Structure 1
């Protein structure tokens, strides 16, 4: 198991159990106590949990809340989608990345890469990429800061997005339906539309729970999307519409690891 995968799995356990000991996590992941302590220190530094002597518990940071809860929903699927999407990009590419739990998982994957230029309105994604072992250029879009999802929004953010051109806009949205992409928040939809306007190609990443949904604010038509990376194949009318729009659908393998597989130490 890769460290970033173990980090996500640790967060799931702490979220479900409210706290977890180093001893329990070391046994659970077949890793040394020193490895788990390093994992907890890293997650605590990122504000994802609170470390105490011998274990960790939920973070009390005000930025936690609904966004943090969504991190743990369909976490395995989001990690699989992130791994599949990260393989699409290489050195020299420039990417818009918007704020979302799936794009945060993508940033954890891209943090090991080098040579990318990434423009984002997410403070968490910026921090993740800056602390990673890879070497990428990261541009943080300014604007009004919203603590709940650690993101910058509003007219200033939209105006700053317009100052960049990128090869790809990599987006996660609230709903993917036969009528296109939609979102539940107006200001997040505005950021997504601005990124699409400045990108040569649009890649959407999502767990399958977003398929077949509809939301209040339109983002773009399916015809504007080049690739959809998703954890399960679209079905019915949506599948037909995606095919008609020429969208390349890439299904990520979200199957759990075989039981008894040895974790990385």
Structure 2
């Protein structure tokens, strides 16, 4: 019995190593471990109960302590997922009106798509993100408004009293928000209270709120601050999102949307 328990612990450790290295699908994990698919599923459920993994469709991902990525580091992460999310978000952009596009690489991907679009005329875009602003600066059919304030070096996003003052005088048909972490119940997790203040203010002034977050943000760990999101809001993520996301969203009044 002791040998069996030791074997299970060793297998769990190997599973976590494989997940951390990017092997996430049950079939592939079973093949790498030389065990049955049902054994891997049981192991993943045990690791999930211990808070060490999050289940996804057909697999799992390892959880980790929160780590704020710099904008350059984030640009190297989950490129295909962010592209799919941006394409899905583009469908929510009205032909005219006023939208807010946040700082961050996924919102930047949306901005690049919007800059190349020929179906959005007479559109005003408000942003606090430097990369988002650069992507839209030469778009001929877009009136671009860049919020003022202090630039956070990690996110290249404006924060502070000047940012808050500008938002207080605006309203949005749709607001697209980025996130360092997302939980359907708790909202958006951020590294600073200044970031949560900006997102709360934007969300409160938008008719429609869509949070753009790849699946890793759903298992990003505990963040220092959380944004209280006014219900209802939409979460646009990707196919690697945890298997229980729909249930958690339904309980919180959030609309989940998996981009493909």
Q: Which residue of 1 aligns with 2:163?
A: 157
TM-score with structure 1 length normalisation?
0.65
2:228 is the alignment partner of 1:220? yes
Query: Does 2:125 align with 1:118?
Result: yes
1:139 Cα offset (Å): 0.7
Change (3 A) 1:212 1:149: closer
Partner of residue 136, structure 2: 129
3-state SS of 1:111 partner: helix
The answer on 1:249 being equivalent to 2:253 is no
1:82 alignment partner, one of 86, 89, 92: 86
Deviation at 1:92, TM superposition (A): 1.4
Query: Partners in 2 of 1:184 and 1:226 — Cα distance?
Result: 21
For 1:1-265, list aligned pairs within 5 A: 66-113=70-117, 114-115=120-121, 116-132=123-139, 134-181=140-187, 182-213=189-220, 214-221=222-229, 224-232=231-239, 234-235=241-242, 238-253=245-260
Greater C-alpha Rg: 2
Query: Shift of the alpha carbon at 1:174?
Result: 1.3
Is the CA contact 1:174–1:210 (under 8 Å) kept in the aligned structure 2? yes
In structure 1, distance between residues paired with 2:92 and 2:250: 20
Call closer, same or farther: CA 1:247–1:197 in 2, change over 3 Å.
same
Corresponding residue number in structure 2 for 1:259: none
What is the CA-CA distance between 1:171 and the residue it aligns to?
Answer: 0.4
TM-score (norm 2): 0.66
Give the paired residue count: 187
What is the RMSD of the two structures over their aligned residues, measured on CA atoms?
Answer: 2.1
**What CA distance in whole angstroms lies between the structure 2 residues aligned with 1:234 and 1:148?**
25
Unaligned 5+ runs, structure 2: 1-68
Shift of 1:208: 0.6
| Residue 207 to residue 108, structure 1, CA distance change in 2 (3 Å) | same
- Give the whole-Å Cα distance in 2 for the aligned partners of 1:225 and 1:172: 17
Residue 131 of structure 1 aligns to a residue in which SS? coil
Unpaired runs of 5+ residues, structure 1, are: 1-64, 254-265
- CA distance in structure 2 between the aligned counterparts of 1:250 and 1:215, rounded to whole angstroms: 23
Note if contact 2:181-2:219 (Cα within 8 Å) is conserved in structure 1: yes
Report how far residue 77 of structure 1 moved: 0.7
Cα deviation code 1:237-261 (max 9, x no counterpart): 54322012332222111xxxxxxxx
Cα separation, 1, equivalents of 2:154 and 2:252: 35
